[in-house]
Amino acid sequence: MDLNKNLPLSDELAHRKGAHIELSSRAQTCAAEVDARFNYEPMFFSHPTSSLKWASTFLKFKLDYPLWISSMTGGTQHAKKINENLARLCGEYKLGMGLGSCRPLLAGNERLGEFAVKKFMGAQPLFANIGMAQVEELLDRNKLCELAEMIRRLDADGLIIHLNPLQEWFQPEGDRFKQPPHKTLLRFFDQFKDTPVFIKEVGQGMGPRSIKALLELPIAGIELGAFGGTNFTLLESLRTSEDETKRPFIKVGHTAFEMVEILNALPTRNKEFIISGGIRNVLDAYELKTTLKANSLLGMAHAYLAPAMENYEKLEEHFLNLRESLLTAKGLLELKEQT
């Protein structure tokens, strides 16, 4: 006998049940719409609590979640606020972060305050960021000591070198590589040691020859920077009325899914990876991390930008929603075996 069946429904419950009836016709699905990538396993799931972690490692660092805030901004009036909010989030929730291009710091300390955010992060990893063109220039001037000094001033734990030949070509003020980046990096690692270095693209990704060549160098790892997210070649084209013969190049590149497949087919030589570029939702992120055999973090940039510009509370709210969804995916879904 159901002792509750004659009890009056609360206003809240009545409203909810009414909404269910009203919306039922709009809540229909068909079999063709199913996301077939995963096995859905509700028998082994409990809802994530605020204390639940996804403990991860990144080089020598311990993170509470496999999340990396990818290089975003530097040298603008908003950079200080954005970087401080992002660094504070990393310190509180044990994440890692890459700075935007630190090129202005090679000229002096005038803008150091926009980038010097390690004090907000505690023991969490902070990586400086410089372009391949600047590395080439410093080598040519025999001034790599300036780069080492910049890293020291930032109290950074490593360096990201962004590889962006198409962006530079599209940019009217862009630098021109005098030699292929592979040769530049060979020269660079002859002189620059003891600091972990990641190489990242900026929205096109990289093909198998480039990835294989990078894996053979003494880098710590690769950030994919794959096609499908913020594309700096496209961004530069929007700034100017570029030569129409260049436009088709905007759409060349490799997606994160393609790059993960390339990496799985190569010896990764104990390198580590930040999967970024074109991750549109949590399920894509979960699939990519689960598929890549090597140790990896999930890198995002654009999704954090708007809340970080607004205030820390908005940024924290965005992160907590992302964290809950990622932990739900980890607990509820299993990637199907590839056939």
Name the band, by pLDDT with cuts 50, 70 and 90, for residue 9: low
Spatial distance between the Cα atoms of 273 and 292, rounded to a whole number of angstroms? 9
The pLDDT assigned to 75 comes to 52
- Cβ count near 179 (within 10 Å): 12
Q: Indicate the pLDDT class of residue 187, thresholds 50, 70 and 90.
A: very high
Q: Give me the pLDDT at residue 4, please.
A: 47
**Percent share of the chain, pLDDT over 90:** 73
What is the 3-state composition of the chain as percent helix, strand, coil, each rounded to the nearest 5?
45, 15, 40
Q: Which residue do the tokens 């270095």 mark? A: 197
Q: What is the mean pLDDT of the chain?
A: 91
Answer yes or no: is pLDDT of 7 > 60.
no
Rg (CA), the chain: 23
pLDDT at 3: 46
- If you average pLDDT over residues 245-270, what whole number do you get? 94
The Cα–Cα gap between 32 and 155 comes to 52
Residue 247: the pLDDT is 85
Model pTM greater than 0.85?
Answer: yes
pLDDT digits (tens, 9 = 90+) for 31-85: 889 999 999 999 999 999 999 999 999 999 999 999 999 987 655 668 899 999 9
95 vs 64: CA distance, rounded Å: 7
pLDDT of res. 67: 98
**221-244 pLDDT tens trace:** 999 999 987 777 887 887 776 678
Tokens of residue 170, six digits: 């599209």
226 contacts 235 by C-beta, under 8 angstroms: no
Residue type at 254 in one-letter notation: H
Q: Output the pLDDT for position 259.
A: 98
pLDDT interval class at 12 (50, 70, 90): confident
Whether the per-residue pLDDT at 330 is higher than 90: the answer is: yes
User: 41-50, 191-200, 215-224, 299-308: which has the minimum mean pLDDT?
Assistant: 299-308
